[in-house]
């Protein structure tokens, strides 16, 4: 480094927002992306015949919260959401919904924003954050339906019922993920 006019060295100035410090960090990011992929695999392949909207929110948010609890990455849920969103483009899942990658991207981002703001150690906040994050799916679908006219079956009778169920399953999955995997993070 060059000396300034006083003869002192310049202070090193780097951003810590999303700095990757080692190969180990890249492996952790890869695992978080795979966690998102696995959430989509479960959603696609595990056929639980409950016939109610949002029931996959439990396992989806449980996996996302497991990644957040076990990782030191501040945006772990967002990274997992990117993995889920990217995997939804794969034709092997046959979602039949061109907007699925976008709707799967939002829960992780919203969950991270809320949890990072409120603190991830309070189980009630984590449950509320997970519920709000996962309930972004019917809200997004409602907007898509209003703009494009493409119908979503669960929203044809209204938004309240799907929103409430997505919230409940997302909250339960997030609380379970934090409760189970938060013990291992200590």
The answer, yes or no, to whether residue 168 has pLDDT greater than 90, is yes
Number of domains present in the structure of the chain: 1
- Domain membership of residue 5 (yes or no) is no
Residue 91 in tokens: 């034709």
User: Among candidates 175, 185, 184, which has minimal Cα distance to 65?
Assistant: 175
> What confidence category does residue 80 fall into, taking pLDDT thresholds of 50, 70 and 90?
very high
- Domain membership of residue 51 (yes or no) is yes
- Domain membership of residue 58 (yes or no) is yes
- Domain membership of residue 36 (yes or no) is yes
The answer, yes or no, to whether residue 8 has pLDDT greater than 90, is no
**Which tens digit of pLDDT belongs to each residue from 130-141?**
999 999 999 998
Place of tokens 């189970």: 180
- Domain membership of residue 96 (yes or no) is yes
CA distance 52 to 165: 8
| pTM to 2 decimal places | 0.80
**What's the start-to-end Cα distance of the chain, in Å?**
39
Residue 47 belongs to what domain range?
24-181
CA distance 125 to 115: 7
């Amino acid at each position: 480094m060059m000396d300034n006019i006083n003869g002192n060295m310049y202070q090193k100035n780097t951003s810590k927002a999303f700095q990757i410090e080692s190969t180990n960090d890249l492996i952790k990011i890869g695992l978080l992306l795979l966690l998102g992929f696995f959430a989509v695999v479960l959603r696609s392949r595990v056929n639980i015949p409950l016939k109610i909207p949002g029931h996959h929110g439990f396992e989806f948010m449980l996996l996302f919260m497991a990644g957040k609890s076990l990782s030191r990455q501040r945006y772990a849920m967002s990274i997992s959401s990117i993995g889920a969103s990217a995997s939804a483009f794969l034709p092997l899942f046959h979602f039949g919904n061109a907007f699925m990658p976008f709707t799967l991207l939002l829960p992780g981002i919203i969950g991270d924003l809320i949890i990072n703001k409120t603190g991830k150690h309070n189980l009630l906040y984590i449950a509320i954050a997970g519920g709000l994050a996962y309930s972004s799916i019917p809200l997004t679908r409602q907007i898509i339906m209003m703009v494009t006219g493409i119908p979503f079956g669960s929203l044809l009778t209204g938004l309240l019922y799907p929103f409430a169920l997505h919230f409940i399953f997302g909250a339960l999955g997030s609380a379970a993920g934090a409760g189970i995997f938060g013990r291992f993070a200590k």
